[in-house]
């Protein structure tokens, strides 16, 4: 049983503020440890259910260098760094049987803790085949394109509700109840770790029931930015068309190709922000 854990940070136990997840802050140093505890709980659950479990954790937050490997459960391996092919889902092409999404959050525009889609600011809306596309949905679709299902998602209640809409039968663990984008009613780590471990074990035990998320091509994407200049920059990517001042679209019959196009668009736009006020 080969399990890939895609780990993000905004949906981790106790996280509610931007400084909690921003590298270099005192709060980030504190929440790095809660981050690894949530991940370790998922690893432990997978190993509880399958003695032969092989677990790969792929970092999915910011610099993708946040998890403390010295505190990671020794039964797992860790992919670190952002120079990868599948970004938050690096490793999906390594014979994976089941995917866990740990520490996930709601999409841009939703009422959820630190809600956004890939870019922390500037991306107002992302749709895939005319439906809102969160990071969880796009990553579940990528897993599905490799024939792999998602068995578990953890995060706030908004992220969990989002997941149940697009992944039938997925197990979810809500570690906090969103009050607003920067506040939540949080469960303590002792409770969230136990819940994550139990849900991870149940997902592995019932792995064959977690069917891959698939949809018929073409895969049509639309991204709307707060700054029209961002759309102009995104339209520099071959195959991406600017259809309105702040909106670009692209499509492909191959999901992985369309996914990679979004990653290029997001990275190009992300490095080109010129002002923290006007972008």
**Which segments in the chain show pLDDT lower than 50?**
277-279
Q: Rounded to whole angstroms, how far apart are CA atoms 238 and 230?
A: 15
Establish whether 254 is an annotated binding residue.
no
Q: Catalytic residue numbers?
A: 116
CB neighbour list of residue 243: distance below 8 Å, 6 or more residues apart: 222, 249
Predicted TM-score (pTM) of the model is 0.96
Same domain, yes or no: 70 and 162: yes
- pLDDT given for residue 250 in this prediction: 99
- pLDDT given for residue 12 in this prediction: 99
What is the number of structural domains in the chain? 2
Establish whether 177 is an annotated binding residue.
no
Q: Rounded to whole angstroms, how far apart are CA atoms 231 and 160?
A: 30
Same domain, yes or no: 228 and 204: no
**How many angstroms separate the Cα of 185 from the Cα of each of 99, 181, 218?**
27, 12, 40
Establish whether 241 is an annotated binding residue.
no
Same domain, yes or no: 143 and 231: no
Q: Which is nearest to 184 in space by CA: 4, 8, 69, 14?
A: 14
CB neighbour list of residue 182: distance below 8 Å, 6 or more residues apart: 16, 17, 18, 113, 114
Domain with 178, as residue range(s), is 2-209
- pLDDT given for residue 277 in this prediction: 42
278 falls within a domain: no
- pLDDT given for residue 213 in this prediction: 97
Tokens of 53: 């479990």
Same domain, yes or no: 102 and 8: yes
Question: Residue 225: which CATH number?
Answer: 3.30.1360.130
Establish whether 135 is an annotated binding residue.
yes
Same domain, yes or no: 203 and 242: no
Establish whether 105 is an annotated binding residue.
yes
Same domain, yes or no: 255 and 135: no
Q: Which is nearest to 169 in space by CA: 206, 122, 224, 120?
A: 206
Same domain, yes or no: 155 and 231: no
266 falls within a domain: yes
Same domain, yes or no: 113 and 142: yes
User: How many distinct helices (H) and strands (E) make up the chain?
Assistant: 7, 12
Same domain, yes or no: 230 and 109: no
pLDDT digits (tens, 9 = 90+) for 166-216: 998 999 999 999 999 999 999 999 999 999 999 999 999 999 999 999 999
- pLDDT given for residue 273 in this prediction: 67
Same domain, yes or no: 51 and 186: yes
């Amino acid at each position: 049983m080969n399990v890939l854990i895609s780990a993000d940070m905004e949906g981790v136990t106790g996280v509610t503020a931007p400084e909690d997840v921003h590298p270099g802050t005192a709060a980030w140093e504190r929440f790095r440890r809660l981050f690894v505890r949530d991940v370790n709980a998922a690893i432990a659950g997978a190993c509880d259910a399958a003695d032969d479990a092989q677990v790969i954790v792929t970092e999915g937050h910011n610099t993708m260098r946040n998890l403390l490997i010295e505190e990671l459960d020794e039964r797992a391996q860790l992919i670190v760094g952002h120079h990868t092919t599948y970004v938050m889902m690096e490793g999906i092409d390594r014979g994976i049987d089941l995917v866990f999404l740990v520490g996930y959050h709601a999409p841009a525009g939703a009422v959820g803790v630190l809600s956004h889609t890939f870019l922390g600011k500037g991306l107002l809306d992302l749709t895939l085949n005319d439906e809102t596309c969160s990071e969880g949905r796009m990553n579940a679709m990528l897993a599905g394109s490799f024939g792999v299902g998602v068995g578990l998602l953890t995060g706030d209640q908004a992220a969990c509700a989002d997941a149940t809409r697009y992944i039938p039968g997925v197990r979810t663990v809500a570690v906090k109840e969103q009050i607003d984008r920067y506040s939540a009613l949080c469960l303590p780590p002792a409770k969230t770790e136990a819940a994550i471990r139990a849900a991870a074990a149940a997902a592995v035990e019932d792995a064959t029931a977690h069917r891959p998320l698939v949809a018929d091509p073409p895969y049509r994407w639309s991204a709307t930015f707060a700054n029209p200049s961002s759309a102009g920059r995104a339209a520099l990517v071959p195959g991406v068309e600017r259809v309105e001042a702040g909106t670009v679209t692209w499509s492909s019959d191959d999901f992985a190709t369309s996914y990679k196009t979004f990653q290029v668009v997001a990275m190009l736009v992300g490095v080109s922000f010129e002002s923290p006020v006007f972008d």
